[in-house]
Amino acid sequence: MSNIIDTMKDYVAVIAAIIAGISAMISAIIAWKLSALSTEKAREFSLKKEKYDELKDIYTKSFSLFENAIRQVLNFDEYTLAQEFSEINAKIRLLAPENIAEQYELTCSILESWSSLYVKTSPKRIKIGDSKCVILQSPDPTKEFIEPAKKEYEHLQKEMKNLFDLMRVDLQKRT
């Protein structure tokens, strides 16, 4: 009987060692899986944040570009924003959702239409040396463009608001 008890004590020790070894292996595998999952989640979060920041930058720059373009047209300044608009156009077409890209294109076309009309509402200007001179005519050839330019400006403001509302919603969805 004592022999059987000694043998069972040996088995219990061996079984305990096996269970401890299996538990250690399972714990290591679980820790490894959790670490890999945590790393993957951190990478996904980082990518989402990077895309969010990039879109936020694009949306902010587009707002600024529209405001600067309107200011240049209203002041009859030389148009200097072509390069910036080209860059933002490409980025919006590549990175923004389709509804925003479509609204952006619509808003750009209205900006172009309005600026063309607005320039026609102003008397001709010529530059003599460092000075600019305005040529006034009678009857006023610019009169017929004033009302269409005003309506197009209102349309531009409405479509810009729609565009920026879409951008705001897109950014809120991404947070």
Q: Which residues of the chain have pLDDT under 50?
A: none
Can you give the pLDDT at residue 92?
A: 96
**The residue type at 83:** Q
What is the C-alpha separation between 151 and 140, in angstroms, rounded? Answer: 20
In a domain, 80, yes or no: yes
In a domain, 90, yes or no: yes
Give me the domain span that covers residue 124.
48-173
In a domain, 88, yes or no: yes
Can you give the pLDDT at residue 52?
A: 93
What is the C-alpha separation between 95 and 113, in angstroms, rounded? Answer: 26
Can you give the pLDDT at residue 139?
A: 67
- DSSP letter, residue 50: H
Can you give the pLDDT at residue 145?
A: 83
- Answer whether 96's CB lies under 8 Å from 55's CB: yes
In a domain, 15, yes or no: no
What is the C-alpha separation between 79 and 68, in angstroms, rounded? Answer: 10
What is the C-alpha separation between 86 and 84, in angstroms, rounded? Answer: 5
Can you give the pLDDT at residue 140?
A: 66
What is the total count of domains within the chain? 1
In a domain, 21, yes or no: no
Largest CA distance in the chain: 130
Can you give the pLDDT at residue 80?
A: 85
In a domain, 99, yes or no: yes
In a domain, 167, yes or no: yes
3 state SS of 167: helix
Can you give the pLDDT at residue 133?
A: 61
In a domain, 42, yes or no: no
Can you give the pLDDT at residue 1?
A: 62
